[in-house]
A and B are shown apart, each in its own frame.
Chain A
């Protein structure tokens, strides 16, 4: 329990990492709920990877132009690249999905694997790659500055506020597009709002915790919550809670046993999913 007291202490050296981890753990599932409801689970896999490719491309630009940016400029570039790639990908993939032509899984699979390969290629050709980029792409949660924490908190608060404020519109457009159109709602506008929120969350999560963990937090808490919840309020609340608890406990376990934080979080989420599934089956059998 000593390590738990240390983590909870305001003087804890890695407190920014704990806060960021929990913030991402709580916020990602909230947009993940919409991805799950819209049956865009593969999008949740591909987007973080594409977003991290955006980071690699953005960080390559100064090198191609022949100068080395400062740390702050690197972070700004990384966020811009991540956001631009996430948004472009989600808008293009969602548009193609709506048209209903071709094979959506094939497109997403291709996008995922090409993005992953491109990131590796860009890293291989970068002299600074091994020094700092790899950490950024892996989501090195240990080195979170106050500025990074503030940016993450501000972005995720904005996403949270928008989701809460326009929940009714986003739910209506997701559940029944035809009704939304007949009622005079701007369906495409609300789709874009949702995709921008997903893009923002994914970009911030990828920069903070890396693509693998971002994917884990986007989808697994929402899928777990869906097995347990009876209504939408429980669904979103539980998803947020599961993400936050997994992020905190994952950090604690990793700190206690000197494990990498990200993979610990994801394995813990997997355990939660298994437990949620077993609990929901037990409840169904008994009722």
Chain B
């Protein structure tokens, strides 16, 4: 149980057979907070979608035995035409355990409610999801991800459209989840400062290159200069 939770072996990811990133070999430690950092178009979302199984790898493989993903997408991607409350969105997290044609059992509904409370979304869970602020939506989506009973929480730009106070609140909450639930967190962002302040490990994507290590190892002045971030 001490080995890495997820391993990428000489992985190439991209669309329609055209690689965006190639030769990625890396390991994600258990119960860690790893950030995938990169500018727009660097391939971080493509890598994430491949990890989640939404895109097939072009080459190589991903070993992720017995991993259950809890996925937190960008809150701005949801169409406000759906008249769902925050709780109804969070409840979708349990649907993986509910058979087609069946309703979520009271125990599953109670668990979803617990996740909503744990994510600090209890106050506004009854309000329409579309009318929540960016930070509130993120909390609901985190609750939904927790309701899947994950051992890996994957967050795609969780702070997009969220103000700075709410951003730090969301990331502090994620750090707390790692401590309390021993969940591995994989967090995709283009925000260098957020990674430096919150993450333990970094996978840095830049112009097809991949750097990885702890924050202290990767964020050296030399490497920052080399990656053009100074």
Interface residues of A (CB under 8 A from B): 36-37, 39, 165-166, 168-169, 172, 174-176, 178-185, 226, 229-232, 234-235
Contact = CB atoms under 8 A, between A and B. Distances in A.
For the complex of A and B, 7 pairs with smallest distance between CB atoms: A183-B96, A165-B101, A231-B83, A235-B83, A232-B83, A182-B71, A175-B82
A216 to B, nearest CB: 20
Contacts of A180: 95
A169 B98 CA distance: 10
A181 B98 contact: no
Interface string B49-85: 0001110000000000000010101000011011111
Given A37-B81, A183-B148, A235-B83, A178 B52 contact: yes
B100 interface: yes
Contacts of B89: 175
A221 B85 CA distance: 22
B131 to A, nearest CB: 10
B18 interface: no
A182 B83 contact: no
B218 to A, nearest CB: 28
Contacts of A234: 83
Given A36-B81, A39-B81, A235-B83, A185 B71 contact: no
Nearest to A181: B54
Contacts, number: 70
A183 B83 contact: no
Nearest to B84: A232
A178 B79 contact: no
16 contacts: A168-B95, A168-B100, A174-B82, A176-B73, A178-B73, A179-B92, A180-B95, A181-B52, A182-B54, A182-B96, A182-B148, A183-B95, A185-B96, A230-B83, A232-B88, A234-B83
B128 interface: yes
Interface of B: 52-54, 69, 71, 73, 78-79, 81-85, 88-89, 92, 95-96, 98, 100-101, 103-104, 128, 144, 148
Contact of B92 (A36, A175, A230): A175
Interface of B is mostly: loop
A43 to B, nearest CB: 15
B101 A232 contact: no
A172 B95 contact: yes
A178 B71 contact: yes
A163 to B, nearest CB: 12
Most buried by B among A36, A39, A172, A176: A176
A237 to B, nearest CB: 12
A184 B78 contact: no
A180 to B, nearest CB: 8
Contacts of A184: 96
A229 B130 CA distance: 13
B193 to A, nearest CB: 28
Contacts of B71: 178-179, 182
A179 B145 CA distance: 9
Given A166-B100, A175-B84, A176-B73, A182 B79 contact: no
Given A166-B101, A178-B54, A235-B83, 12 more contacts: A36-B81, A39-B79, A168-B104, A169-B101, A175-B79, A176-B92, A179-B71, A179-B92, A182-B71, A183-B148, A184-B96, A185-B96
Nearest to A232: B83
B181 to A, nearest CB: 19
Nearest to B52: A182
Contacts of B85: 231
A182 B92 contact: no
Contacts of B104: 168
A182 B92 CA distance: 12
A172 B92 CA distance: 7
A168 B144 CA distance: 15
B111 to A, nearest CB: 15
Nearest to B88: A232
